[in-house]
Amino acid sequence: MRDILIVVAMLAGVVSGQAPGMPQRIGRDYLIRAIQTISKQPSIDRSRAEKLLGETIRQRRLAFPVAQETEQELRAAGASPELLAAAAESQLNAADLFPTQSVATRLTKDTLLQVSSSISAQKTPGERSLIEQRVLTYLQVRRIDFVVTPDVERQLSRAGASARLIAALKAIQLSPGDILQAAQRDLQLGRFAQAAQEAETAAAMQPSLETLQLLATAKAQAGDREGSEAATLRTLSAGGEIAITVLVAPSGENFRKTCEAKLVIGAKRASLVPGTAEPECRAAELESAALVEAGPNEYVGKDRQAFHVLIRSSQDALVNLCLAPSSGDNKWALKVLAAATRP
């Protein structure tokens, strides 16, 4: 009886290498030592001890998977068929490593870091391979709530995740559409910094016009004017257009009389839409034409921050537009034009 109590006491030790929050399980070293104690102590009632150990295994469960090499090691330690059956029934499975929750609930990065650490903590290559394969199978019906960016990939690798596990996580990560929806929701709720961060991630994965426009809006709402402008300029490469209110000098020589208009700029193209129906202003109307060159004026309208835009019309004629910002300076207009004419 004394030796049976020793076996039970051995199994009460702290198990290392298991995920935080997991019920304390029996480690492989403790189990092997317990089996050896039973098999090598002729003074104890072996049958009774094995029954007690089997019950303990089923109650506490194991902190490791029973791979083929593990079963051979348990058998070599003296495990009976009954103990091997108890170990097989109570071995570590993938679901044991994850929080108890609905399969519809997305898994967090912290959870996957813990799972990676638990896989890495298994004692033998066979055990690591077996539990990893079970995790990979488990992940086929789950999704994660984060994106496996290069930084996250490094964190997972440091935690012990294999290239195979990281590839599986990339296959079930949030899609750009998922992240975009989250950014739109946070923007509506006034969580501007969070919305900007999410939109940035979505834009890095899929720089669509919708994503970049949302990023520009979120950055502006978050008070990041420079970031908003950068995102707005990126919309040009995604097929977007940027409209700037300008003043047009119809004569092309001075700004004594001006017409307000919208300069609509796209990638290597621009159009001019007058804001009034006056004949002199309507004459400045220009449909989408190829951008050739743009820059600040050295003389004409310099006091008005004037700039010129040289375009090639559909009739292959070169047209020089003399424009000025309707308010403020010309810096934003020149930034947009520079981005639009960039090769």
165 and 233 inside one domain: no
The lowest-confidence range among 39-48, 54-63, 148-157, 327-336 is: 39-48
The answer on pLDDT for 156 being more than 70 is yes
69, 124 contact by CB (below 8 A): yes
Scan for tokens 């839409």, then name that residue.
273
pLDDT band at 303 (very low <50, low <70, confident <90, very high): confident
pLDDT at site 253: 59
200, 228 contact by CB (below 8 A): no
How far apart are alpha carbons 103 and 24 in whole angstroms?
24
pLDDT at site 3: 53
Last residue of a domain, one of 238, 263, 287: 238
* Extended beta strands in the chain, E state: 242-248, 259-266, 269-274, 286-296, 307-312, 318-325
The answer on pLDDT for 17 being more than 50 is no
80 and 30 inside one domain: yes
Last residue of a domain, one of 191, 223, 238: 238
pLDDT at site 21: 45
Q: Torsion angle, CA of 188/190/196/198, rounded to 10 degrees?
A: -60
Mean pLDDT calculated for residue range 159-186: 92
The pTM (predicted TM-score) of the whole model is 0.63
pLDDT at site 11: 52
214: domain CATH number? 1.25.40.10
167 and 234 inside one domain: no
Last residue of a domain, one of 116, 136, 171: 171
25, 60 contact by CB (below 8 A): yes
252: domain CATH number? 2.30.29.30
26 and 69 inside one domain: yes
pLDDT in tens, 119-131: 999 989 999 999 9
Which tokens go with 91? 């071995």
296, 330 contact by CB (below 8 A): yes
197 and 167 inside one domain: no
Per-chain mean pLDDT for the chain: 86
pLDDT in tens, 54-95: 988 998 899 999 999 999 999 999 999 999 999 999 999 998
Say which amino acid occupies 38: I
Q: Which domain holds residue 262?
A: 242-341
Q: From the CB of residue 267, how many other CB atoms can be counted at a distance below 10 Å?
A: 16
pLDDT band at 28 (very low <50, low <70, confident <90, very high): confident
pLDDT at site 193: 93
Q: Which of the two residues, 287 and 196, has the higher pLDDT score?
A: 196
Which tokens go with 211? 């994503």
pLDDT at site 117: 94
Q: Taking the CA of residue 121 as centre, how many other CA atoms within 13 Å lie in the half-sphere pointing to its CB? A: 19
246 and 337 inside one domain: yes
pLDDT in tens, 217-265: 999 999 999 999 999 999 999 999 999 999 987 665 567 778 888 999 9
The answer on pLDDT for 301 being more than 90 is no
Burial 235-250 (b: 16+ CB within 10 A, else e): bbebebbbebebbbbb
32 and 123 inside one domain: no
22, 115 contact by CB (below 8 A): no
pLDDT at site 13: 46
Q: From the CB of residue 302, how many other CB atoms can be counted at a distance below 10 Å?
A: 12
226 and 269 inside one domain: no
The answer on pLDDT for 4 being more than 50 is yes
287 and 329 inside one domain: yes
Percentage above 90 pLDDT, the chain: 52
- How many separate domains does the chain show? 4
33 and 45 inside one domain: yes
Closest CA to 238 of 270, 207, 199, 263: 207
